Structure 1
Amino acid sequence: MRESVLEVPGARLRHFVRGSGPLLLLVAGGYGDAAVNEALATHLAGRYTVLTYDRRGLSGSTTDDPGLTLATHADDVSHLLSALTTEPAHVYGSSIGALISLELTTRHPGQVGVVVAHEPPVTQLLPEPERALAIEDLLAAEETFKAEGAFPALRRFAKFAGIDPTDREPDVEPRVPGPEQLPNLEFFLTYDAPAVRTHALDLTALKNSPARVVPAVGENSGHIWAHKCARLLAEELGIACETFPGGHNGYVFRPRATAERLHQVLDV
């Protein structure tokens, strides 16, 4: 595995490259840094050159301007890809990572070959009153953070995202929180969570992109609104929605099975 830092406008991005084969970028959900994708990347490295990274403001990546939009994150990823390849890359993103991956696909379509968007919170697709309830969930987490702190807000997120740490592969151990957890979580709740809540995906640009877009859902997350967002996105694009192991955080708790499913989807 090779660790590097790339200077981009307003930020320095720590990233990791391992494996060999076609380039596959993993974009973590929530306040996840590169380490969150480590197990999945390890299972994929036999077939792909796997790129993982810390989003600006998280862990080893710094930012001079924290007033973020998802377009900022998408442009960051574009710079990373440009530094590593001239060919379209495969991209797998989950939750906010899926939104960033889709934004990359609309803003820099020539850089993406296949994008697998696992339960992107595209709230604009939800019918009322479900959309209002989803926005209320996101706002409640932000307000809990301001009133009570980061970890009560995280519990709110975990509840409406249906996170079930017991739904995991036998050899996957719960992560031991490091010193970066709290600052990463605070950064996410301050900047990234509001960016998700206010984001509007350019559906016309997505439909016109040359990339193959693959909306995806967790097999055990049918009760959450992010799951429905992915299914509605598939309907909007007129394509199939693929099912992946586990729930909303399946890529973390079921990395081996997720890697196998990714092989199947990317090999089509």
Structure 2
Amino acid sequence: MTEPLHRDVTGSGPVLLILPGGAGHPMGLGPLTERLARSFTVVTYDPLGLAHGRLGLPVPDQRPADWSDGAHRVLEAVLPPGERAYVFGTSSGGIAVLDLLARHPGRLAGVVAHEPPCVTVLPDGAERRAELIGQLDGPERPPAEGASATPMGVFLAHVLHPFTAYVPSVTPAGHRLTLAAGADSRGQLLYRTAEFLANRLGGRFAEFPGGHLGTLDHPEEFAGLLTETFLSGAHTSA
């Protein structure tokens, strides 16, 4: 039985699909989506349904392919025939949109992946992944019986480990891809990862306002630059 697709839709114009970070809960993204809705039909995908009544229910370990397949089904449901969508993902959502572009490129006009934590692509990736997991996991990780009670608990228990092990492969569609990192993240691991991925995958690199949580801390400026990135001709649909 196919799982239901949990998403929210606002605005009008070309379709822009958003995949949030963490465990995919769109908490705090209201100001960003409101600004983007001036130019796009914004479809915010909640892959685990955490904002749609499923928070607290059991969650299996996640894979980027789980989220990208769901995102593809969302696009097939909302896109008019013959049209392509813009896609934005941040953090773990950024990893999911890289997988979406690799596996389902046909209906994508452009993709922006913001600070995806797939650090194993780096030459010292194994060490950097261990450090990243150590910073986020450890004493903050909830016990197994309480892992599904909060979005952060779901992220630590079921998303962090498999997603940070992901190695993207997007060689056929690099011209449609922008890797983004926050200006406040300069010198940090995920800024370095985004730059490395842009070079490896043949995509563009762009700085966005704020740091890893720029979507929440600077929603107006972030949305403005995201709109410009998609609509300025930087991406093509060919």
Report the TM-score range of the alignment, normalised by the length of the smaller protein.
Answer: 0.7 to 0.9
**Aligned Cα root-mean-square deviation (Å):** 2.3
Q: Percent identity among equivalent residues? A: 30
- Please show how residues 1-268 of structure 1 align to structure 2 within 5 Å: 9=2, 11-56=3-48, 58-60=50-52, 62=54, 66-85=60-79, 86=81, 87-128=83-124, 131-146=126-141, 149=142, 182-201=149-168, 203=169, 206-209=170-173, 212-267=176-231, 268=233
TM-superposed CA distance for 1:220, in Å, is 0.8
Judging changes above 3 Å, is the alpha-carbon distance between structure 1 residues 257 and 54 closer, same or farther for their aligned structure 2 residues?
Answer: same
Cα distance between partner residues in 2 of 1:252 and 1:140: 21
Cα distance between partner residues in 1 of 2:203 and 2:153: 37
Cα distance between partner residues in 1 of 2:78 and 2:32: 20
User: C-alpha offsets along residues 36-55 of structure 1, whole Å, 9 cap, x if unaligned?
Assistant: 32111100111100001322
Runs of 4+ in 1 over 6 A off after TM superposition: none
> Which blocks of at least 5 consecutive residues in structure 1 are unaligned?
1-7, 151-180
Deviates most, 220-229 or 208-217: 208-217
Contact residue 217 and residue 230 of structure 1 kept, 8 A: yes
Deviates most, 206-215 or 243-252: 206-215
TM-score by length of 2: 0.85
TM-superposed CA distance for 1:215, in Å, is 0.7
TM-superposed CA distance for 1:114, in Å, is 0.3
Contact residue 22 and residue 151 of structure 2 kept, 8 A: no
Cα distance between partner residues in 1 of 2:105 and 2:24: 25
Cα distance between partner residues in 1 of 2:137 and 2:112: 28
User: C-alpha offsets along residues 86-126 of structure 1, whole Å, 9 cap, x if unaligned?
Assistant: 42210111111110011011111112110001111121321
User: C-alpha offsets along residues 133-163 of structure 1, whole Å, 9 cap, x if unaligned?
Assistant: 33332145333244xx38xxxxxxxxxxxxx
Cα distance between partner residues in 1 of 2:22 and 2:193: 16
TM-superposed CA distance for 1:21, in Å, is 0.4
